[in-house]
Amino acid sequence: MLASRDLQLWYGDFHALKGVSMTIEPHSITAIIGPSGCGKSTMLRCFNRMNDLVEGCRVEGEVLFEGRNIYGRYDLTELRKRVGMVFQRPNPFPLSVFENVAYGARIHGLAGGERLRESVKKALIATQLWTDVADRLSTPALDLSAEQQQRLCISRLLAVAPDVLLMDEPCSALDPLATQHIEELMLELKKDYTIVIVTHNMQQAARVSDFTGFMLLGELVEFGETDTLFTAPRDRRTEDYITGRYG
């Protein structure tokens, strides 16, 4: 589905990714873990080329999406439509609940009128937010709780009909109960989407993911099935990190 091949990235003089190669399987959840500053968010942002927005950022190597290198000639709006992103802090637009979800659909001209309402409803049902907000679609999104806001942001993304969901520490601004709910949602979404999640929370990675990559200082130290990585890590540094002797 998605794969990086010897990916190198610099922010100015800072070498942030050092030859990272990983493959993301369809309909799976892949977690990228590692201490702060290890490059895991940078890695995630290579998959939809969000690093392009950072001044002084330079990339070498390849990221393949369905076999095509997205760092070659590639329509970025098309890429980001198919590889969507959920951010660390819930960041709904200061618009109504409805307009937030409709935003992406409107951009891509996916629907209008009744079809637009249907797609908004579908996206809200998919994140189990519909029952909470059905009767207040026109209220400001910022009136929702943090968890609801994050669900709303995921709905906003789903309404664009992506194939891949990139999640950049989606639960770090939420309380434990809300975190649990979002994790359950991720397991549900896995059936229809391919998910890559960056988290500093190892328990979270162990709970939800099928594959895990451990990054340190810009390198991908170890990548494999989550169960194996957490029970029988091959690399000493991975073992140190997951047993809490690191970071």
Partner 1 sequence: MRIPPRAVHLTMLGFLWVVTLSAVATLAGIVGWVLWRGLPSVTPRFLFSMPEAAGAEGGIASVILGTLFIIISAVLVATPLGVGTAIYLVEYTRESWVTRVIRYGSDCLAGIPSIIFGLFGYVFFVLFLGFRWSILSGALTLALMSLPTIIRTSEVALRSVPQSFREVSYALGATRWQMVLRVVIPGALPGIVTGIVLALGRSMSETAAVIFTAGTVLPDRVPSSPGDSVRTLAVHFYILATEGATDAQPRAFGTAAILVLAILVINVSAYTLMHRFLARYR
Q: State the residues that interact with partner 1 by CB under 8 A.
A: 48, 50, 53, 55, 77-82, 84-85, 87, 89, 91, 93-95, 103-104, 106-108, 140, 142, 153, 156-157, 160
Please say whether the beta carbons of 158 and 126 come within 8 A.
yes
Strands (E), 53-183: 57-65, 68-69, 83-86, 164-168
Nearest CA-CA partner of 199 in 53, 14, 31, 6: 31
- If the CB atoms of residues 49 and 220 are measured against partner 1, the closer one turns out to be 49
Output the smallest distance, CB 78 to partner 1, in A: 7
Sheet with 2-11, edge to edge strand ranges? 14-24, 2-11, 57-65, 68-69
Output the smallest distance, CB 157 to partner 1, in A: 7
Please say whether the beta carbons of 104 and 156 come within 8 A.
yes
- If the CB atoms of residues 84 and 218 are measured against partner 1, the closer one turns out to be 84
- If the CB atoms of residues 56 and 67 are measured against partner 1, the closer one turns out to be 56
Six token digits for residue 100: 């937030």
Output the smallest distance, CB 170 to partner 1, in A: 13
Six token digits for residue 12: 């100015």
- If the CB atoms of residues 196 and 202 are measured against partner 1, the closer one turns out to be 196
Phi, psi of 51 (to 5 degrees): -65, -15
- If the CB atoms of residues 79 and 111 are measured against partner 1, the closer one turns out to be 79
DSSP H or E segment with residue 197: strand 194-198
Output the smallest distance, CB 106 to partner 1, in A: 8
Output the smallest distance, CB 188 to partner 1, in A: 21
